[in-house]
């Protein structure tokens, strides 16, 4: 309980720090949607199944907030489900995450790459319908709070200097691990693929505007046109 309180206090403090520094650094706002897949296992009934479903998040990323490192905070939700021989499973999760990472460009110039490591606090709700060999269904509802690290890689394509479209892949070892009086459900080996749309603000690259074309017929022998030496 003390660890939960300390973790939330730390995240809140970092969020306030990010907000206070937002006007001093370049930043990004982005919305992302995609699909999450994870493995479900339960030992009592020897059940296993691959769960999948939609996920979405809203994020703010402060660029080069800690020297060369970016800092990102995000609010998200996911809903995954699946049905094995005896178990019908639905898992819903609401989370807040804090990540640090690198943003860098290689080739081509309009692409940017990201490498991130993060820590996530989540509130999870599992609905589990357990069937027996006679066809009787017993409903279980299990709640949990998780604290788990995760990793992510991504790339973004910029449209102009501000708008971008991104694609990223994320991995998290454990999503859910909370035993009830009768069952021991676990959900792990989670992976997500999401497509994002975002806007970068703050210190952006200078926009290079095309030169004005003088009126009249074009003079192809004009030195300015031949050598591009004039503004």
CATH number of the domain that residue 198 is part of: 2.40.160.20
What digits encode the pLDDT tens for the residues 82-94?
999 999 999 999 9
Residue 17 lies in a domain: no
Over residues 85-110, mean pLDDT: 92
Cα dihedral 199→15→172→95 (10° resolution): -90
Q: Alpha-carbon distance 158 to 205, whole Å?
A: 12
Residue 229: band (very low, low, confident or very high) from pLDDT cuts 50, 70, 90: low
Q: Which residues, at least 6 apart from 50, have a Cβ–Cβ distance to it below 8 Å?
A: 37, 38, 39, 40, 82
Residue 109: band (very low, low, confident or very high) from pLDDT cuts 50, 70, 90: confident
Residue 117 lies in a domain: yes
Question: Is pLDDT of 71 > 50?
Answer: yes
Which is more confidently placed, 6 or 53? 53
| pLDDT of 67 | 81
Residue 228 gets which letter from DSSP? -
Residue 165, domain extent: 27-203
Q: Which two tokens stand for residue 137?
A: 């269904």
Over residues 198-220, mean pLDDT: 58
Residue 32 bridge partners (DSSP): 57, 196
Over residues 119-125, mean pLDDT: 96
Residue 100 lies in a domain: yes
Q: Alpha-carbon distance 145 to 217, whole Å?
A: 72
Percent of the chain topping pLDDT 70:
77
Residue 104 lies in a domain: yes
Residue 221 lies in a domain: no
Which is more confidently placed, 176 or 68? 176
Residue 200 bridge partners (DSSP): 28
Per-range mean pLDDT, top range of 104-108, 120-124, 159-163: 120-124
Over residues 139-165, mean pLDDT: 92
| pLDDT of 209 | 39
Average pLDDT value for the chain: 83
Residue 131 lies in a domain: yes
Over residues 194-203, mean pLDDT: 89
Residue 219 lies in a domain: no
| pLDDT of 182 | 84
State the number of CA atoms in the 13 A half-sphere of 157 facing the CB.
4
Residue 56 lies in a domain: yes
Which is more confidently placed, 202 or 111? 111
How many separate domains does the chain show? 1
216: region left, alpha or beta (phi > 0 left; psi from -120 to 50 alpha): left
The vertex-13 CA angle with 9 and 15, nearest 5°, equals 115
Q: Which two tokens stand for residue 141?
A: 């509802």
| pLDDT of 52 | 97
Q: Alpha-carbon distance 151 to 172, whole Å?
A: 7
Over residues 21-43, mean pLDDT: 85
Per-range mean pLDDT, top range of 129-133, 149-153, 158-162: 149-153
Q: Alpha-carbon distance 204 to 202, whole Å?
A: 6
């Amino acid at each position: 309980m003390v660890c939960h309180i300390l973790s939330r206090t730390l995240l809140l403090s970092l969020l306030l720090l990010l907000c206070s520094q937002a006007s001093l650094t370049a930043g990004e706002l982005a919305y992302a949607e995609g699909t999450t897949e994870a493995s479900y296992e339960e030992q009592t009934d020897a059940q296993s199944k691959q769960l999948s479903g939609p996920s979405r998040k809203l994020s703010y990323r402060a660029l080069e907030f800690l020297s060369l490192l970016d800092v990102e905070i995000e609010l998200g939700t996911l809903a995954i489900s699946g049905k094995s021989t005896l178990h019908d499973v639905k898992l819903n999760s609401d989370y807040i995450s804090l990540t640090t990472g690198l943003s860098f460009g290689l080739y081509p110039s309009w692409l940017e790459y990201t490498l991130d490591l993060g820590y996530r606090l989540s509130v999870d709700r599992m609905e589990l319908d357990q069937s027996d060999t006679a066809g009787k269904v017993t409903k279980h509802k299990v709640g949990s709070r998780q604290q788990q690290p995760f990793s992510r890689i991504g790339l973004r394509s910029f449209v102009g200097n501000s708008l971008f479209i991104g694609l990223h892949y994320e991995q998290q070892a454990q999503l859910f691990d909370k035993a009830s009086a009768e069952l021991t459900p676990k959900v792990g080996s989670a992976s997500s693929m999401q497509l994002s749309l975002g806007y970068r603000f703050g210190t952006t690259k200078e926009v290079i505007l095309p030169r004005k074309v003088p009126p009249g017929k074009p003079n192809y022998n004009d030195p300015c046109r031949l050598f591009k030496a004039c503004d």
